[in-house]
């Protein structure tokens, strides 16, 4: 969580506090003038916002939602109910709870000097809104909270509502970005919700801060004509996590406050019974610890990587989930990540010595680097499996490698050749997840725990799709 002042000329107006959720690539915002505050696009774990309000002695008056999110479950409705604030989103959204409907051009006062102007910016969704912060004394538009509309160097992707809507939404996204670009001055600060690793972003940027003027000079949506922008955007869209299909319906139904209380403790006998029943038992330890010894049949989704995104992408939705971790606080951290994507309650958890999690011996597989893979390939044939996404594989890959992206692995595991499988990705995390899935299914696996840049250094022959 970080705090950022507005531009120096608006320091007297208030403060924007950025609430980072790097595991999902999103940001939420709390804006206040020292007394009154509003929030934009809060995540499910609202205790972060409540702690801020209490610490700064702020009164939350409004909770603004830019759209019905696809990548995370909102905490907006629960936050509004907890604090008595007004919950606001586009009046055209179909939801099953009471809220304050907004419409384009509406202006709402917050505190003594802040006003929020509602701007319709369809493109990421049909009913997407952005919010322009104004100083009611000077009438100057000083910041834009753009949700999934205009992002740093990009825009929100337009394909989450179905292929039949994608091209039209992309056209609307271009028009909306130009509307925002023409509405506010160049020095207005841009505060998007997506674009920091979220799959809701069409492309990714390394920028952590920007202004409307900076985007007008460099962002393709503001530089290119509509036809060029739409063509290039649609050509570059990759897959998005499977759990996204469940999130918008959850948000439409009005999610309550998340229950982050600790799950019941699982015994070794219970863990085995749950595995035998086809439930998921997930080991949260890092890949080195997991590979060295783990309960047979468990899967490794370490907390040291994109835990929630990958687990949500691969898990059978609704299957009971048990968590294993080195420390109880790791279970708590995993719960916080999971409620954000709609997986509310693990059925059980265990922590401590992994030997206490199993009535039988632990099993293991080998972790190696690319130099070891190069040496082995020089002596005997093994199956190299690249679990990166297709677009990563197309740029550069080990010659002869089989490409089965991690998110396709469970459906395509039977396609993998017989024999020893040496799995790699870009940095090791996805390879370990893949190795754990295949090892649990009885395959002989080795995971390459190394960055892909080391492959060429190790002497492996690389090629590309173009080649």
What is the mean pLDDT of the segment spanning 129-133?
A: 97
The percent of residues in the chain predicted with pLDDT above 70, rounded, is: 97
Task: Enter the pTM of the model.
Answer: 0.92
Q: What are phi and psi of 287, to 5 degrees?
A: -65, -30
**Per CATH, domain 2-253 is 3.60.15.10:** yes
pLDDT band with cut points at 50, 70 and 90 for residue 204: confident
Homologous superfamily (CATH) for 268-357:
Rhodanese-like domain (3.40.250.10)
Note whether 451 and 424 are within 8 A (CB): no
Q: pLDDT (tens digit, 9 = 90+) per residue, 326-381?
A: 999 999 999 999 999 999 999 999 999 999 999 889 999 999 999 999 999 999 98
Query: Of 214, 222, 217, 220, which is closest to residue 233 (Cα–Cα)?
Result: 220
Q: pLDDT (tens digit, 9 = 90+) per residue, 238-286?
A: 999 999 999 999 999 999 999 999 999 999 999 999 999 999 999 999 9
Per CATH, the number for 366-463 is 3.40.250.10
8-state DSSP, 358: -
Q: Residue 149 to residues 59, 144, 212, 406: CA-CA distances in angstroms?
A: 28, 11, 13, 29
The full set of domain ranges for the chain reads: 2-253, 268-357, 366-463
Report residue 159 as tokens.
């394909």
Does the pLDDT of residue 1 top 60, yes or no? Answer: no
Please give the mean pLDDT across all residues of the chain: 94
What is the mean pLDDT of the segment spanning 49-75?
A: 97
Q: pLDDT (tens digit, 9 = 90+) per residue, 307-341?
A: 999 999 999 999 999 999 999 999 999 999 999 99
pLDDT for position 467 = 53
What one-character-per-residue DSSP string does 407-450 give?
GGHHHHGGGSPSS-EEEE-SSSHHHHHHHHHHHHTT--EEEE-S
Does the pLDDT of residue 461 top 60, yes or no? Answer: yes
Does the pLDDT of residue 71 top 90, yes or no? Answer: yes
Does the pLDDT of residue 11 top 80, yes or no? Answer: no
The number of helix segments (H) and strand segments (E) in the chain equals: 16, 26
Query: Of 244, 242, 257, which is closest to residue 344 (Cα–Cα)?
Result: 257
pLDDT for position 13 = 66
pLDDT band with cut points at 50, 70 and 90 for residue 38: very high
Does the pLDDT of residue 76 top 80, yes or no? Answer: yes
Does the pLDDT of residue 203 top 90, yes or no? Answer: no
Note whether 133 and 38 are within 8 A (CB): no
Lowest-confidence pick of 104-108, 342-346, 462-466: 462-466
pLDDT for position 5 = 39
Query: Of 99, 29, 110, which is closest to residue 68 (Cα–Cα)?
Result: 99
pLDDT for position 198 = 87
DSSP-based three-state secondary structure for 38: strand
What is the mean pLDDT of the segment spanning 218-229?
A: 96
Topology match between the domains 268-357 and 366-463: yes
pLDDT for position 466 = 65
């Amino acid at each position: 969580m970080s705090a950022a002042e507005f531009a120096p000329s608006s320091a007297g107006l208030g403060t924007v506090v950025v609430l980072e959720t790097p595991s999902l690539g999103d940001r939420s915002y709390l804006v206040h003038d020292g007394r009154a505050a509003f929030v934009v696009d809060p995540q499910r774990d609202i205790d972060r916002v409540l702690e801020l309000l209490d610490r700064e002695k702020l009164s939350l008056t409004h909770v603004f939602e830019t759209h019905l999110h696809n990548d995370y479950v909102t905490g907006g409705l629960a936050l509004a109910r907890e604090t008595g604030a007004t919950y606001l989103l586009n009046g055209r959204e179909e939801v099953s709870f009471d809220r304050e409907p907004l419409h384009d051009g509406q202006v709402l006062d917050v505190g003594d000097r802040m006003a929020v102007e509602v701007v319709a910016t369809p493109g990421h969704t049909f009913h997407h809104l952005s919010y322009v912060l104004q100083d009611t004394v000077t009438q100057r538009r000083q910041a834009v909270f753009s949700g999934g509309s205009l992002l740093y160097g990009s825009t929100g992707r337009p394909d989450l509502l179905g292929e039949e809507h994608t091209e039209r939404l992309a056209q609307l996204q271009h028009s909306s970005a130009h509307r925002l670009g023409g509405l506010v001055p160049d020095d207005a600060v841009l505060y998007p919700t997506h674009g920091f690793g979220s799959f809701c972003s069409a492309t990714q940027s390394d920028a952590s801060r920007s202004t409307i003027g900076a985007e007008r000079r460099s962002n393709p949506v503001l530089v290119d004509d509509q036809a060029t922008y739409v063509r290039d955007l649609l050509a570059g869209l990759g897959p998005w996590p499977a759990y996204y299909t469940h999130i918008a319906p959850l948000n439409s139904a009005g999610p309550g406050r998340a229950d982050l209380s600790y799950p019941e403790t699982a015994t070794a006998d219970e863990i085995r019974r749950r595995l035998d029943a086809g439930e998921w038992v997930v080991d949260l330890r890092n890949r080195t610890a997991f590979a060295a010894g783990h309960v047979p049949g468990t899967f490794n989704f370490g907390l040291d990587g994109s835990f929630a995104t990958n687990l949500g992408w691969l898990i059978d939705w609704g299957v009971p989930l048990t968590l294993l971790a080195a420390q109880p606080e790791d279970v708590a951290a995993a719960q916080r990540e999971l409620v954000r994507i709609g997986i509310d309650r693990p059925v059980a958890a265990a922590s401590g010595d992994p030997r206490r999690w199993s009535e039988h011996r632990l099993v293991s597989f080998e972790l190696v680097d690319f130099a070891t893979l190069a040496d082995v390939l020089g002596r005997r044939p093994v199956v190299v499996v690249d679990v990166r996404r297709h677009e990563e594989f197309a740029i550069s890959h080990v010659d002869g490698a089989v490409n089965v992206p991690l998110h396709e692995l469970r459906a395509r595991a039977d396609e993998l050749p017989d024999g020893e499988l040496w799995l790699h990705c870009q940095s090791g995390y996805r390879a370990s997840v893949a190795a754990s899935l295949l090892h649990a299914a009885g395959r002989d696996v080795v995971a390459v725990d190394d960055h892909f840049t080391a492959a060429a250094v190790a002497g492996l022959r690389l090629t590309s799709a173009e080649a």
